[in-house]
Chain A
Amino acid sequence: MIEFESVTKQYPDGTVAVDTLSLRIPSNEITVFVGPSGCGKTTSLRMINRTIERTSGRISIDGEDINAGDPVTLRRGIGYVIQHAGLFPHKTVVDNVATVPKLLGWDKRKTRATAMELLERVGLDPKLAERYPAQLSGGQQQRVGVARALAADPKIMLMDEPFSAVDPVVRHQLQEELLRLQRDIGKTIVFVTHDIDEAIKLGDNVAVLRVGGKLAQFAPPAELLAKPADEFVEGFIGQDRGYRALTFVTAENLPLGPVPADLAIGADGKPAGWRKDGDTLPVGAVFQRGDSLRAAMDSVLTSPIGQGVCVDEAGKPVGVIDYTGLTGVLRP
């Protein structure tokens, strides 16, 4: 657990970046700091590894004050990922990943083996190991950045807007992979973003900060959407918070109807289209039982005939749902 107790950061010119921040960041979960620019979210993050020193208050990791030891040793025990990855341009991919083990003086063979294993773990082809960062795409660079942060197996990983400089498609992939990775590694992750959607998607807990470095609300995303603490949080979450709250309701309880004969099935067993008046219309988005109500609603909304198709793991249709079925679940 990382604990902030009345932490304040004031710059010599009088600007207060973080104002008496107190919160507990639980271990083995993703905690997101989110807020508009100037809210002190990055400052708060960087005070954890002491790349910014706080003016007053206390920060502790598992009860131990972070100022107890030397900052360089502290940093080697905390993974760090930043926007644009910040890879070392003059080192190969594998050497970039091996940075912290090398600083810690690990055995060479062990270092390399760990680095290669991590490349695969973050979804990179081991063939890229000897390339230089400039030869990689933005998404690949960011994966290397994550691998570098994990190389010495730190308990804590700090991520400062890591996905904000890549295009939306790649960002979506990286987010999914982070969640998948986190299911395996269970690190204590502190993640900074200005994007509330990203915060809600990734966070087990979300800390909403307001300009001037004050904590507005600290809650799990579902609670944030259901019960915003004040007008600022409500405004920051945005207009469609009701719709977005559906992300946290499972589609398991939907009363599916049987697959209609109008649904054309392809050779692979997957839905191929809706037959209507001699034409075949596109299927639209499909969803699975384990998905959220938001995915199910999206499926209904994108279907040309108002029928959302539920598929199994193999992509084969198992049932359909329409507006009436959906609203039955939505009504409390």
Chain B
Amino acid sequence: MRWVDDNSLLIWEQLREHLYLALIPMVLGLLISVPLGYVATRYSWLANPLVALGGVLYSLPSIALFIVLPALIGTKVLSAANIIIALTIYAVSLLIRNVIDGLRSVPEEVLQAAVSVGYGTLRRVMTIDLPIAVPVIFAGLRVVTVANISMVSVGAIIGIGGLGELFTLGFQQDFLTPIVVGVVLSLALALLADVALVGLQRVLTPWARVNTPKEA
């Protein structure tokens, strides 16, 4: 516990970095996969190749991606951008399937009704399609968030890894406490982020929690 008190500033700093490195790619992933997913539902021949590509990208080992990215896109080897871009790629590759499934979950008669009463395309997508797709998209978002939080630690290999840096510290000094602190805080962060997303989803979808239909 003594170590924790002495290093509280470091721990706090790494926790903040960890959260930042995990959440920015989640938001970017969402911003990229929603329009991409919409295009894939408009041009349905695109959907399967996109989902397949997502699967391939997700199977790339993260360490390899962190190290290869600077060579590919010219970022500095020790830049946080590498982590953010890599995790955004993972986020998009997971989310794209959920966005497509979510948009496809909007019943055909609802779409038809929306068009027929006079919604323009953008307004329809923003106020009808996406809100109805929220439960399915959020299912993916929760997976992405937890996966990102765990994957950030791998970045410690290249020196930017939030709480993961506590692991390297512990291994280098052959000292268990920082590792335990890192593990516990990562878990807590993942749990909290998940709870926050569940809460947000409940606020966004009051309609999804109503009772079953009554016959009258």
Contact = CB atoms under 8 A, between A and B. Distances in A.
A83 interface: yes
B117 A75 contact: yes
Contact of A132 (B113, B116, B210, B216): B210
Interface residues of A, number: 35
A109 interface: no
B106 to A, nearest CB: 9
Contacts of B74: none
A136 interface: yes
A51 B116 contact: yes
A136 B213 contact: yes
B115 interface: yes
Contact of B205 (A73, A87, A90, A92): A90
A118 to B, nearest CB: 14
B110 to A, nearest CB: 5
Interface residues of B, number: 27
A80 B210 contact: no
A86 interface: yes
Main secondary structure of the interface of A (DSSP, over half): mixed
B109 interface: yes
A135 B210 contact: yes
A27 B91 CA distance: 56
Contacts of B118: 72-76, 100, 103
B113 A86 contact: yes
A137 B216 contact: yes
7 nearest CB pairs, A to B: A86-B113, A76-B118, A86-B109, A75-B118, A80-B116, A137-B216, A132-B207
Interface of A: 46, 49, 51, 72-76, 80, 82-92, 99-100, 103, 131-132, 134-137, 139-140, 145, 148-149, 158
16 contacts: A73-B118, A75-B117, A82-B116, A83-B109, A86-B110, A86-B112, A88-B128, A90-B131, A90-B208, A100-B118, A103-B123, A135-B214, A136-B213, A137-B215, A137-B216, A140-B216
Given A72-B119, A103-B123, 15 more contacts: A51-B115, A80-B113, A80-B116, A86-B109, A86-B110, A87-B110, A88-B114, A89-B107, A90-B207, A100-B118, A134-B207, A135-B211, A145-B113, A148-B117, A158-B116
